[in-house]
C-alpha cells in the first residue's frame, strides 16, 4: 500500500481564525486543501464563494482540491480556475454532459474530478474513467460535515479500483466523509489514494499530528 494523499477539509476549520488554521496546514505534511462549494440547490447548504477561495489562495501554496456540490457546474469552471483551484471535481448527478465538462476542466489546465453520491453506481464511470484524474467517492451524503461513515464505501472503492485497472486508467480514488484514524487504513487497503478529513483533523487537539498519523496509516 502506498501512503495516501491527505486533504484536510476547510469546511471544518475555524472561520473566526482561518489564517491560523492555514498556518497550521502549511506547516503540516498535507498535500491538498479540500474546499467544498455548495449552492443550496444541489445540497441543502451554502459555502465558499469566489472571494473567499481567492482569499484562501493567498494563504497557501498547497494544491487546492475544489469539490463542487452545485448545479450547472460548467458555467463556473473558468472562474474557479481564476480564483486558484488546481483540481476541480463535479458531481456526476449534476452533469448532463459529463465528457464535455471534463474536457472543459482540462482545457483550463486543472485536473478533472468526478464526485459520486452514496447511491450512485460505479458503472456510470465506465465510459469516462480514462478522462478522469480523480473520483471523489462520497462516504456520507453530501451537504454537511460530521456525518457517520457509510460502511458500503469499502466495497465501492474496491469496485472502482478494479475498473481503473481494467481500463488501464491513471485515476486516483478520493474518499470524502467520515474519514477517521480508525477507518483510514482499511480505505487505503481497498484502493483509496486521497483521504479527505474534516472533523478528524480540525476537532483534534493536535491537527498536525493527526495529519501525520493519517499520512502514515499504512
Average pLDDT of every residue of the chain = 95
Residue 47: per-residue pLDDT: 87
Lookup: cell for 10: 476547510
pLDDT digits (tens, 9 = 90+) for 173-198: 999 999 999 999 999 999 999 999 99
Stretch 198-214: mean pLDDT: 96
> In Å, what is the CA distance from 105 to each residue of 36, 76, 201?
17, 10, 29
Residue 144: per-residue pLDDT: 66
Looking at the DSSP assignment, which residues form a beta bridge with residue 134? 113, 172
Q: Name the pLDDT band for 1 (thresholds 50, 70, 90).
A: confident
User: How many CA atoms are closer than 13 Å to the CA of 11, on its beta-carbon side?
Assistant: 28
* Selected catalytic residue, list 39, 131, 133, 176: 176
DSSP state of 12: G
* Selected catalytic residue, list 36, 131, 133, 193: 36
162 an active-site residue? no
Residue 218: per-residue pLDDT: 82
Q: Give the chain's radius of gyration (CA, Å).
A: 16
- Where helices occur in the chain by DSSP H, the ranges are 18-27, 50-57, 77-82, 98-107, 153-166, 184-190, 199-202, 207-215
Q: Name the pLDDT band for 164 (thresholds 50, 70, 90).
A: very high
Only one residue has cell 474513467, namely 129
| 22-39 exposure pattern, b = at least 16 Cβ within 10 A, e = fewer | bebbeebebbbbbbbbbb
Distance CA 142, CA 113 (A): 16
21 an active-site residue? no
pLDDT digits (tens, 9 = 90+) for 102-129: 999 999 999 999 999 999 999 999 999 9
**Where residue 64 sits, what CATH number does that domain have?**
3.20.20.70
Residue 130: per-residue pLDDT: 97
pTM of the complete model beyond 0.75: yes
Residue 146: per-residue pLDDT: 63
Length of the chain: 218
pLDDT digits (tens, 9 = 90+) for 30-85: 999 999 999 999 998 898 899 999 999 999 999 999 999 999 999 999 999 999 99
Residue 187: per-residue pLDDT: 97
Domain count, the chain: 1
The crossing angle, in degrees rounded to 10, of helices 18-27 and 207-215 is 40
Residue-range definition of the domain harbouring residue 126: 5-215
Give, for 8, the enclosing helix (H) or strand (E): strand 5-8
Amino acid at each position: 500500500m502506498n501512503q495516501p494523499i491527505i486533504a484536510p477539509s476547510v469546511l471544518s476549520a475555524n472561520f473566526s481564525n482561518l489564517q491560523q488554521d492555514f498556518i497550521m496546514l502549511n506547516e503540516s505534511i498535507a498535500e491538498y486543501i479540500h474546499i467544498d462549494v455548495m449552492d443550496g440547490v444541489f445540497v441543502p447548504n451554502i459555502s465558499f464563494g469566489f472571494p473567499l477561495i481567492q482569499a484562501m489562495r493567498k494563504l497557501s501554496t498547497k494544491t487546492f482540491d475544489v469539490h463542487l456540490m452545485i448545479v450547472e457546474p460548467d458555467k463556473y469552471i473558468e472562474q474557479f480556475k481564476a480564483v486558484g483551484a488546481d483540481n476541480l471535481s463535479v458531481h456526476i448527478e449534476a452533469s448532463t454532459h459529463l465528457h464535455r465538462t471534463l474536457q472543459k476542466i482540462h482545457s483550463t489546465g486543472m485536473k478533472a474530478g468526478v464526485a459520486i453520491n452514496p447511491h450512485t453506481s460505479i458503472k456510470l464511470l465506465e465510459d469516462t474513467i480514462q478522462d478522469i484524474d480523480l473520483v471523489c467517492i462520497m462516504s456520507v451524503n453530501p451537504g454537511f460535515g460530521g456525518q457517520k461513515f457509510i460502511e458500503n464505501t469499502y466495497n465501492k472503492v474496491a469496485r472502482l479500483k478494479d475498473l481503473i485497472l481494467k481500463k488501464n486508467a491513471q485515476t486516483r480514488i478520493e474518499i470524502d466523509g467520515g474519514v477517521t484514524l480508525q477507518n483510514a487504513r482499511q480505505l487505503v487497503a481497498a484502493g483509496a489514494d486521497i483521504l479527505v478529513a474534516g472533523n478528524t483533523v480540525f476537532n483534534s487537539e493536535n491537527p498536525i499530528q493527526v495529519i501525520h498519523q493519517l499520512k502514515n496509516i499504512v
